[in-house]
Amino acid sequence: MHDARDAEDRRLLEAGEHKLLLAAYFHPVRERCFLRLRDRAAGDEAAQRVFLRLLEELRRGKVYRVPYRVVVWMVCEWTLGGFWPGAKHEGTLPEEWDATASDAFAEWEDDHDLGVLLAGLPPRQREVLDLRYREGLGPEQIAERLGITRNAVDQALHNGHRKLREALGA
Partner 1 sequence: MPEGVFDLFDEYAAAYARGERPQARAYLERAGEGADELARLLEVFVQAAPVPPPDEDTVALVGAWLEGQPPLVELRARRGVRVEDVVEALVSGLGLDPAKRAKVKRYYQRLEGGLLEPAGVAAAVWRVLGELVPRAEEAAGWRPEQAAAGAYLRVSGAVPAAGATGRARAAPGEPDEIDRLFLSGG
Q: Do the beta carbons of residue 78 and residue 41 sit within 8 Å?
A: no
**Restricting to residues 26-65, which ones interact with partner 1 according to CB under 8 A?**
26-28, 30-32, 34-36, 38, 40-41, 44-45, 48-49, 51-52, 55
User: What is the number of other CB atoms lying within 10 angstroms of the CB of residue 143?
Assistant: 20
Q: Is 156 in the site for partner 1 (CB under 8 A)?
A: no
Q: Is 93 in the site for partner 1 (CB under 8 A)?
A: no
Q: Is 20 in the site for partner 1 (CB under 8 A)?
A: yes
Long-range contacts of range 14-22, CB-CB < 8 Å, 24 or more positions apart? 18/55, 18/58, 18/59, 21/58, 21/68, 22/51, 22/54, 22/55, 22/58
| Angle at alpha carbon of residue 122, lines to 118 and 125, rounded to 5° | 70
Nearest distance in Å: CB 154, partner 1 = 12
- State the residues that interact with partner 1 by CB under 8 A: 1-2, 4-5, 8, 18-20, 22-28, 30-32, 34-36, 38, 40-41, 44-45, 48-49, 51-52, 55, 69, 73, 84, 86-88, 111-114, 116-117, 132-138, 157, 161, 165, 168-170
